[in-house]
Amino acid sequence: MGEPHAGWWRRNRWALLALLPVLALVAVAGAGRAATFWLPYQLSDEVTGEFGQATTLTDDYRDAGGEHTRTVEVTVHAVTPDPAPETNREEPVAGVELPEGTRLWEVELGFEADPDTVLQGCLIALVDAAGRVTQRETSLLHWDTGFDDCQPVDTTNPQAELFVGDEQVVSTRPPAYTRVVQLLAAEDFEPTSVRVWWEPPTYLSVPLPDGAP
């Protein structure tokens, strides 16, 4: 029973070997299609900034009104461990107990953009040397009810159009301002960089200088 099969393999071995490069090309093409599909939804396009210096971040987004380009200058001013808990209006909160095994971090950032530029939906995160990421998560900080990381809380801020023809608000956001946000992290978390982003794949990464925080 085994001889006919062995003979078939011997007779066709060169044709089978010739197929190997074709199969390799198919595999590479498939990987390329997968990368093309997934990368736009991941943070894969890094813009590197410098601590204490303004960095221009430009990305594209789409809403009901069509395609738009967003340009904003971002400056990471400070990253502080174990701050006193504050609301998103920087008001102190008394009697707060953090969950066991956690600690609080505070990030101060500066933003500069045209007051009509849509900055809603921004996310801020800290990253440590092991690649762990902690984002601002207000559900973990019950005293922080703000939902927008990168805009003032007491101004009227422009918003993306949810429906065609939405009436746009008149922005009262100043061209430049600072924002302080607090993040909860594991007790052994020591950040090495700050991330800021709106629409993947583009994001800003600002390494923290040696000895900071």
d(CA 212, CA 36): 37
CB atoms within 10 A of CB 27: 10
Cβ-in-10-Å burial (0-12, 13-18, 19+) of 143 comes to middle
pLDDT at 31: 46
pLDDT at 202: 96
The whole-model pTM stands at 0.77
In what side-by-side order are the strands of the sheet with 133-135? 45-48, 202-207, 191-197, 123-128, 133-135
pLDDT at 24: 55
pLDDT at 38: 45
Chain centre distance of CA 10: 56
CB atoms within 10 A of CB 120: 14
> Which amino acid, one-letter code, is at 27?
A
> Which amino acid, one-letter code, is at 63?
D
Positions of the chain with pLDDT lower than 50, given as ranges: 26, 28-29, 31-39
DSSP letter for each residue of 1-59: -HHHHHHHHHHTHHHHHHHHHHHHHHHHHHHHHHHHHHGGGSS-EEEE--TTS-EEEEE
> Which amino acid, one-letter code, is at 22?
V
pLDDT at 16: 56
Q: Which residues pair with 194 in a beta bridge?
A: 126, 206
pLDDT at 36: 41
Buried-state track 53-78, b at ≥16 Cβ within 10 A, e below 16: ebbebebeeeeeeeeeebebebbbee
d(CA 18, CA 93): 71
